[in-house]
């Protein structure tokens, strides 16, 4: 995570940017029916 202020295109933002790497990978195109069960 990278906390703190940032300026993008002249607009100031203050927040947290989080990047995650999942193993095994999630949200794979074509695998919705295999990974999401009926309630």
1: pLDDT confidence band, cut at 50, 70 and 90? Answer: low
Alpha helices per DSSP H over the chain: 32-35
Domain segments of the chain as ranges: 2-35
Q: What is the mean pLDDT of the chain?
A: 81
Q: What tokens does 36 get?
A: 């999401």
Give 24's DSSP letter.
S
Find residue 17's DSSP bridge partners: 2
Q: Which of 13, 10, 11, 35 is nearest to 25 (CA)?
A: 35
Mean pLDDT across 11-36? 82
The reported pTM is 0.29
18: three-class secondary structure by DSSP? coil
């Amino acid at each position: 995570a990278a906390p703190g202020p940032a300026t993008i295109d002249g607009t100031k933002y203050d927040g947290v940017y989080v990047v995650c790497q999942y193993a095994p990978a999630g949200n794979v195109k074509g695998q919705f029916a295999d990974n999401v069960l009926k309630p």
